Chains A and B, each alone.
Chain A
Amino acid sequence: MNIFQQLPLIVVILPLLAAPLCVLLGRGSAAHAVAVVVTGINVLAALALLEQVSATGTVRYFFGGWPPPWGIEYRIDLLGGYVLLLVTGVTAMVVSAAGRSVAKEIPASRSCYFYSLVMLATAGFCGIIVAGDAFNLFVFLEISSLASYALISMGQDRRALRAAFQYLIIGSIGATFILIGIGFLFMMTGTLNMQDLADKLPAVAQSRAVRTGFAFLTLGIGLKLAIFPLHMWLPNAYCYAPSVVSALLSATATKVSVYVLLRFSIGVFGIDFSLRQLPLDQLLLVLGCSGVLFASWMAVFENNVKRMLAYSSVAQLGYMVLALGLASAAGITATILHLFNHGLMKAALFLAVAGVVYRIGGNELQDFSGLGRAMPWTMAAFLVAACSLIGVPLTVGFVSKWYLLSSALEQGQWLVVVVIVVGSLLALIYMWKVLEVIYFRKPETEQGHIHEAPLSMLLPLWVLVLANIYFGIDTQLTVGVAEQAAQSLLGGRP
C-alpha cells in the first residue's frame, strides 16, 4: 500500500483520530503536542497533494475501491489542493502558537477539550475541501461548525456563550438550507457525486426544482460565509472567542465557505447557469460592494481591535464575492487569490492581537497604546500584516488588490473599481487608528512589566508575516495556481 495514494484520507482521518486521543491524554500540554504533530503532518500531506495535483492532475480516492457514482469519492483538484494548503498551513501555525495563550485563557482542566475541538474542526475543514460527494460535504460542514460553536463558547467573557449560541442558530439554519438544496439536486438527478451532478444537471437545469435547490444552496452557503447582510453572527463570534480561535476561524471557516460557493456555483452548476442565466452575478456584485463599504465603515468606528478585524473580515469577504460576481476568468482568479492572501494576513493580525491579549489582558484600542516600544516584534508583525490588509506593494494584499482591480477594469465596471479603492482607503483609516495608538501614543500605565510576546507565539506569527511578504514578491505559486484553478473550474469540472 502506497502511502501517497492514501493522502486524501490521511488529511481527514488523522485529526479525526487525534480528537479523542487529546481527550484521553487529559493533560493540556500532551494534547497540544499531539495537535502540533498532527497539524504538521497535515501540512506535509497538503504540500505533497498539491505537488501531485499539479504534476498529474486531479487526485481521486475511491472508498473501498467502489468507483463513483456508487461509491464515495474524495477528490482533490488544483483549487482544492490550494485551499487545503492554506487551511492546513494556517492551522499548523495557529496551533503551534496556541500553547501559552490557551494556558492563560482557558482553565487547565478544559484545555485538552480545546485541542480536541481544534482537531475536530480541522478534520471538518479538510473534509469539506476533499469531499467529492455533496452529502459528505454537508456532514463535514456540520462537524466543523459544531466544533467551532464549542470553541467560540470557550472565550473568557460570558458574552462568548451568547455569540456561540447566535452562531449556532444561524449556522444550523444555513446548514439545513444546504441540506435542502442537496435534496432538490438529488431529486432531479439521482446522484450525490459532484462531478456526476455537473454532468447530469444541464439536462434538467430548466426546472423549478433545480432553481429552488440552487437558491437554497446559495443562501445556506451565504449564511456560513457571512456574506453581507448575513454576517450578523461573525463580529461577536470573532470578538469574544479565545484569541487563537479568532485567528484559526478567520483564516479557515469563512475561506472554506468561499471554496464551497465556488465549487457549487461554478463547478457543479456551471458558470452559464448560475452567473449568466440566473442573476447571481448581479446579486453577488451588489452584496459584495455593499458588504465592503458597510463593514469597512463599521470597522472605522470600532474601538475593540478584535471586533474591528472581524468587521474587516466581512469586508474582505465582500471583495471575494464581488470578484466572483464579475463572472469572468479574471474575477474568479481574483477571488481564489484573495481567499488565500486574506487567510494569511488575517491569521497574522489575529495572532498578533493574541500576543497582546496574552501580555496585557485586553483587546480594546487603548490597551495597545505605546506597545510599539514594549513589544516591538509583535507590533512590527502587526504593522506588516496591516500594510498587507491595506494593500501596500510587496505584500500579498497588493497582489490581491491588483488582480481585483484589473478584473473589474477588464469588465469596465467603474463603480466596482471605486468601491475597491474606497474600501482600501477605509482599511487604511481603521488600521491607521490602531497603528497610531501603537506607535505614537504614550502608554497609559507604567510598562516596565510588559515584555515581548513569548517566543512560541512570535515564531509562528513571523512565519505567517514572512509568508505575507514572500507571496507578495514571488507570486508564481499563488497567482499561477489561482489562474489554472479558475481555468479548470470554468472548464466545467467540479
Chain B
Amino acid sequence: MSETLGHFNYWLVVVLMMTGMYVVIAHHNLIKKLIGLSIFQTSVFIFYISMGKVDNGSVPILVEGVELYSNPLPHVLILTAIVVGVATSAVGLALVVRIREAYGSTEEDELNDQDIKQHREERGGCRK
C-alpha cells in the first residue's frame, strides 16, 4: 500500500518518462518526436521536485514558528533545467522548420525515401 501510494509521484515520473520515450522511438513525425522528448524531460522535472519534499516540511519561505522546510535547491535546479528544455525544443523546432523547407515533409519515411534517392543519384552520377 505505502509502496504504491507513498511513491505516487515517482510512479507518475516512470509513466511519463516511458510515454515520452515511446513517442520518441515509435512516432515517425518529427514534431511528435519533439513532443515526446518534451514529455520525457518534464518527467525528470517532476522527479527533482518530488525529491525536494521533506516530510511535514513547509514551503521554503522564512516564517516565524516554522522549523522544518522542504529543500528548495531541487526547485532552483529545475528552473535551470526547464530553460535548457525550452532551448532544446526551440532548436529542435527550428530544425524541423528548415527540414520542411528543404524536403517539403516532416514524416521520417518520406525523408528517408528522398535521402535514399539522392544517395543513389550521386552514386550513379559518379560512375559515368
Residues of A within 8 A of B (CB): 135, 138-139, 142, 146, 149-150, 153, 158-159, 161-162, 164-165, 168-169, 172-173, 175-176, 179-180, 183, 186-187, 190, 364, 366
Contacts and interface: CB of A to CB of B under 8 A. Distances in A.
Contacts of B91: 146, 149-150, 168
Contacts of A366: 126
Given A146-B88, A169-B33, A153 B24 contact: no
Contact of A162 (B48, B80, B115): B115
Most A Cβ at <10 Å: residue of B87, B88, B96, B111: B88
B102 to A, nearest CB: 4
Contact of B51 (A150, A165, A175, A187): A187
A142 B30 contact: no
A142 B24 contact: no
A173 B87 CA distance: 14
Contact of B96 (A150, A159, A165, A176): A165
B74 A186 contact: yes
A153 B98 contact: yes
Contacts of A187: 51
21 contacts: A139-B84, A149-B95, A150-B91, A158-B102, A158-B103, A159-B115, A161-B102, A164-B95, A165-B92, A165-B96, A169-B33, A169-B37, A172-B92, A176-B40, A180-B44, A180-B47, A183-B44, A183-B47, A183-B48, A186-B51, A187-B51
A162 B47 contact: no
Contacts of B99: 158, 161-162, 165
B77 interface: yes
A179 B81 contact: yes
Interface residues of B, number: 32
Which DSSP category, helix, strand, loop or mixed, fits chain B's interface?
helix
Contacts of B98: 153, 161
A162 B111 contact: yes
Ranked 9 nearest A-B pairs via Cβ: A158-B102, A142-B84, A187-B51, A161-B99, A165-B95, A172-B88, A161-B98, A168-B92, A179-B44
A70 to B, nearest CB: 11
Contacts of A176: 40-41, 44
A212 B56 CA distance: 27
Contact of A135 (B47, B80, B103, B118): B80
Contacts of B103: 158
Nearest to A152: B95
A123 to B, nearest CB: 14
B106 to A, nearest CB: 10
Contacts of A173: 21, 24, 37, 40
A492 to B, nearest CB: 26
Contacts of A162: 99, 111, 115
Given A159-B115, A186-B51, A142 B87 contact: yes
A122 to B, nearest CB: 18
A364 B126 contact: yes
Contacts of A186: 51, 73-74
Given A176-B40, A179-B81, 11 more contacts: A138-B81, A138-B84, A142-B87, A146-B87, A159-B115, A159-B118, A161-B102, A165-B99, A180-B44, A180-B47, A187-B51
B18 to A, nearest CB: 13
B82 to A, nearest CB: 11
A181 to B, nearest CB: 10
Nearest to A149: B91
Given A180-B47, A364-B126, A168 B95 contact: yes
A190 B74 CA distance: 10
A162 B105 CA distance: 12
Contacts of A142: 84, 87-88
A180 B51 CA distance: 12
A158 B111 CA distance: 11
B20 to A, nearest CB: 9
B75 to A, nearest CB: 12
B42 to A, nearest CB: 10
